[in-house]
Amino acid sequence: MDSDTKRLRRVAAELDEPVAANGLLHRRAFLRGGIAFTGFAAAAVTAHDAAAQAAAATGEKLSARTLMTQAVMGGPFTAYGQPARYERDAVREFTVNQLTPGTGSSRTPHHVLEGMITPSGLHFQRNHNGVPDIEPNQHQLLIHGLVKRPLTFTLDSLSRYPMESHIRFVECAGNNGGFNAAEPRQADVQAMHGLLSSSEWTGVRLAVLLDEAGVDPKGKWILAEGGDGASMSRSVPIEKCMDDAVIALYQNGERIRPEQGYPMRLLLPGFEGNMNVKWLHRIQVTPTPTFTKDETSKYTELMPNGKARQFMFQQPVNSFITKPSYQINLQGPGYYEISGLAWSGAGKIAKVEISADEGKSWAQAALVDPVLPMAVTRFRLPWKWSGQPLTLVSRATDEKKNVQPTRSQWLKLYAPNQGYKFNGITAWAADGTGQIRHVYI
């Protein structure tokens, strides 16, 4: 054994010590290579042996020659690439209502995705009247109301302005639903948390356009209206418009997808999805909120005293574990990496803690760079599962010190059946075979 090997073994032995109950390891245990050395190296040899044995059984020799005969002539070029045809699980999930086929939502399959960016074709959709087919050269954005100079912008004229790019999440206020049912619903991460997606958005800062139009001091709000059949419209405080609001034209490097608001959408970082008006064609500066149907009949929260709370813009701090999760079961005792997503409308994620004993002891997960405000943050934690039944939970804290409540704490904040903005802790229970169920803790 050389000195490097000895050193790695020593580090491994230290890091292999759990930092919280039921085998949660130090967040850097895998990164330092220690665990990989003792655990995975051994596992890899076993896997290799198994493959060699299988090959021997069929009389086949694992050789360079075998690999070469497997090579085939490749297919032609494609104009726009698609995922490998075997990736059939990586699709949006939705139910079709025959009467209103364009109305409803489709969900991002987070349980089969990695990293912090949602592929554009898998961004969730929430449409109140379908996806309009807008000819970009015909589209205009009008800014009027309490301004010195009403202005209209075409896609071409907007393209001459300085652009900004930001990685930001969009999350529907109705995400994470179903938790007020008496029994925990047995559903995967896609069904439970799939109305959340994350993209790099590029566009023009709204403040630049409003400054050019010259906002009257009496203009305290805007009305943002979409060009879809629903004319979806929302009131936004002028402070947000002058702060970090963006007229987004690009999504993950290409023009924004039709489903996300082509050719332009309002992006309000951290604010509930509904306010991020798609197919944006009109901004009216107003003295007060407009009290549109979308902010009165819906997207308000009923409080315990029977009054509805309006204009709760920010999405709360939240997190969920994707690996393991419902239907992403454990494959027997041994080393695992627990992984998931955390986000907050208030800013950056400060920490994510994981518990494997229903919240009695906690280990701090590693946050994957870059950790950005109002973006999703991927977290990871090494874990050694002994094979005993247990419950895994994640709890996120943001930079403003907001912490995810438990489900029962959250339920006390609102009237029964109030369904918006749930951010209670999600818990996954593993039985002795590694099968995962959704449980309440």
Ligand X SMILES: Nc1nc2c(c(=O)[nH]1)N[C@H]1C(S)=C(S)[C@@H](COP(=O)(O)O)O[C@H]1N2
User: 110 or 126, CB closer to Mo ion?
Assistant: 126
Indicate the burial class of 278 (C-beta count within 10 angstroms; 0-12, 13-18, 19 or more). buried
Decide: helix, strand or coil at residue 246.
strand
Assess contact for 141 and 284: CB atoms under 8 A.
no
221/210 Cα distance (integer angstroms): 12
212/209 Cα distance (integer angstroms): 5
User: 27 or 421, CB closer to ligand X?
Assistant: 421
Q: Residue 314 interacts with ligand X (CB under 6 A)?
A: no
**DSSP β-bridge partners for residue 321:** 340
Question: Minimal CA–CA distance to 18: which of 437, 355, 290?
Answer: 355
Cα distances (Å, whole numbers) of residue 427 to 202, 245, 356, 439: 35, 34, 10, 6
Task: Give me the least distance between CB of 231 and ligand X, in Å please.
Answer: 7
User: 274 or 423, CB closer to Mo ion?
Assistant: 274
Other beta carbons less than 10 A from residue 58's beta carbon: 7
State which of positions 195-254 bind ligand X (CB under 6 A): 197, 226, 228, 230, 232
Contacts of 266 (CB under 8 A, 6+ apart): 206, 224, 236, 245, 246, 247, 248, 275, 276, 277, 278, 280
Task: Give me the least distance between CB of 408 and ligand X, in Å please.
Answer: 27
Q: Which pair of tokens denotes residue 172?
A: 């529907």
Dihedral sign for Cα 306, 312, 317, 318, please.
positive
Task: Give me the least distance between CB of 183 and ligand X, in Å please.
Answer: 27
State which of positions 279-308 bind ligand X (CB under 6 A): 279
State which of positions 124-163 bind Mo ion (CB under 5 A): 126
322/342 Cα distance (integer angstroms): 11
Q: Which of 24, 116, 147, 172 binds ligand X (CB under 6 A)?
A: 172
State which of positions 74-133 bind Mo ion (CB under 5 A): 126
260 binds, among Mo ion, ligand X, none (CB under 5 to 8 A by kind): ligand X
Closest CB to Mo ion belongs to which residue? 172
393 binds, among Mo ion, ligand X, none (CB under 5 to 8 A by kind): none
Strands 221-226 and 254-255: unpaired
Q: Residue 273 interacts with Mo ion (CB under 5 A)?
A: yes
Task: Give me the least distance between CB of 176 and ligand X, in Å please.
Answer: 13
User: 124 or 414, CB closer to ligand X?
Assistant: 124
State which of positions 261-280 bind ligand X (CB under 6 A): 273-274, 276-279
Contacts of 70 (CB under 8 A, 6+ apart): none
Assess contact for 199 and 251: CB atoms under 8 A.
yes
State which of positions 49-88 bind ligand X (CB under 6 A): none
Task: Give me the least distance between CB of 283 and ligand X, in Å please.
Answer: 13
Assess contact for 365 and 332: CB atoms under 8 A.
no
Task: Give me the least distance between CB of 195 and Mo ion, in Å please.
Answer: 7
Task: Give me the least distance between CB of 247 and Mo ion, in Å please.
Answer: 20
Q: Which of 202, 274, 339, 426 binds Mo ion (CB under 5 A)?
A: 274
φ, ψ of residue 170 to 5 degrees: the values are -120, 130
State which of positions 95-154 bind ligand X (CB under 6 A): 123-128
User: 378 or 421, CB closer to Mo ion?
Assistant: 421
User: 124 or 385, CB closer to ligand X?
Assistant: 124
18 binds, among ligand X, Mo ion, none (CB under 5 to 8 A by kind): none
Task: Give me the least distance between CB of 204 and ligand X, in Å please.
Answer: 18
User: 170 or 390, CB closer to Mo ion?
Assistant: 170
User: 170 or 204, CB closer to ligand X?
Assistant: 170
Q: Residue 172 interacts with Mo ion (CB under 5 A)?
A: yes
282 binds, among ligand X, Mo ion, none (CB under 5 to 8 A by kind): none
User: 126 or 438, CB closer to ligand X?
Assistant: 126
Q: What is the dihedral of CA 111, 112, 115, 117, to 10 degrees?
A: -90
Q: Which pair of tokens denotes residue 238?
A: 């002028």
Where do contacts with ligand X occur on this chain (CB under 6 A)? 123-128, 170, 172, 197, 226, 228, 230, 232, 259-260, 273-274, 276-279
Where do contacts with Mo ion occur on this chain (CB under 5 A)? 126, 172, 273-274
